[in-house]
Amino acid sequence: MRLSHLRQRLRDLGAKPCHEDRLLRGWSQVGSYDRAHSPAKTFFPLALRNELPAIEAELHGLARLRGEYPATPSPTLPRTTGEGANVALRASSNDDEVARLLVELHDGQMVESVLLPRGGLCVSTQVGCAVGCVFCMSGRDGLLRQLGSAEIVAQVVLARKRRAVSKVVFMGMGEPAHNLDNVLEAIQLLGTQGNIGHKNLVLSTVGDLKVFERLMEGLTHKPSPQPSGGTTSHLTKPASGQVAGYPASGRGGEREKRSSAPVKPALAISLHTTDSALRAKLLPHAPQIAIEELVERAEAYARATSYPIQYQWTLLDGVNDSDAELERIVRLLTGKYAVLNFIPFNAVDGLDYRRPSAERIALMAQTLNQQGIYTRVRDSAGHEIDGACGQLRARGVKVE
């Protein structure tokens, strides 16, 4: 189901924008349709009220929980802060615990979502993937089908029935650029009726030109700010001011206008190496864009939105963890409005790749932070349960 189809169905039942808005807010935020002095039974048109049980049943059937797999962070893997200090990962409160969700869609296909710390959620955008990253399980069987925008939002709804969700990252199964219309439609709803801040919606891509073209529509490029002299001066935001296409603030103005203003998400780039030849081997079906051009286009978007680019780097022992890579990273990202996320590799059956040692990971992050490249180590959820992206689905399909 696409959200545009759902909206049209509501309109065919006599819904006006205010009715549509309330229903979509209630669904996406797992809340009531009632308002003070305006209960749903008198607010919604009669035809919509009569059809509402069937609509709700259809929405509920878009995504069902097939299994939940808690993933306790490893106590031995150090996390490196921006200052290079090592901080041991620790188990946290319920809202901070990581858990992988195996989600069954209405047609029996399965995808994965991940509950992340501090209200985060990682969602899938496709069943399978066509990019074929050699270290990833998601694309082992290729692309099976796209997810509709309503199915993407349904993963958020499913997670919100378990705990609060205030950030959504589109980094699960699939390449969002290959399903861009549905992904942007889902982002639009989540950034308006879904009550999630634009910068807390993070679209991840291997780097497709059409992503940059679509996201840059309506944005005015802003000049890079002058360094402030601090240790992370390259993360200084551009001069403040309204970005074209955004509501001026969360206050005032008509709700319909705010809902129709284009939501511009933050952007994450799956980089993994600075060596073009190696990147082509690791991501065999990714667009062949020069790495320098990729970073240049990402930088333009970062400056236009005031959101730093998140560069994702899956760490593979003996592949992309060399001192030469560190030197090239410094040359590539110095002065960029960016964050580099190191993600240690999760073991995958049939693959010989390994994650570097904890000591090597910590040293790499510390070295880059000392060179002014803001670097974080992200523990890849699911390491202890063999739950790298795509593995839970693969096991679920095998059981079938």
Long-range contacts of range 322-327, CB-CB < 8 Å, 24 or more positions apart?
325/273, 325/274, 325/275, 326/364, 326/367, 326/368
Report yes or no: 133 and 389 within 8 Å, Cβ to Cβ. Answer: no
Backbone angles phi, psi at 291, to 5 degrees: -60, -40
Q: Which residues are catalytic?
A: 112, 389
As a whole number of angstroms, the distance between CA 7 and CA 15 comes to 9
Between the alpha carbon of residue 60 and those of residues 24, 66, 374, the distances in Å are 13, 14, 41
Report yes or no: 320 and 276 within 8 Å, Cβ to Cβ. Answer: no
As a whole number of angstroms, the distance between CA 329 and CA 198 comes to 28
List strand residue ranges (DSSP E) for the chain, in order.
63-71, 78-80, 86-88, 98-105, 110-116, 120-122, 126-128, 143-146, 167-170, 201-205, 266-270, 309-315, 338-344, 375-377
As a whole number of angstroms, the distance between CA 343 and CA 334 comes to 20
Rounded to a whole number of angstroms, the CA Rg of the chain reads 21
As a whole number of angstroms, the distance between CA 107 and CA 57 comes to 15
Report yes or no: 356 and 328 within 8 Å, Cβ to Cβ. Answer: no
Q: Name the β-bridge partners of 201.
A: 168
Instruction: Count Cα neighbours of 369 within 13 Å in the Cβ-side half-sphere.
Output: 19
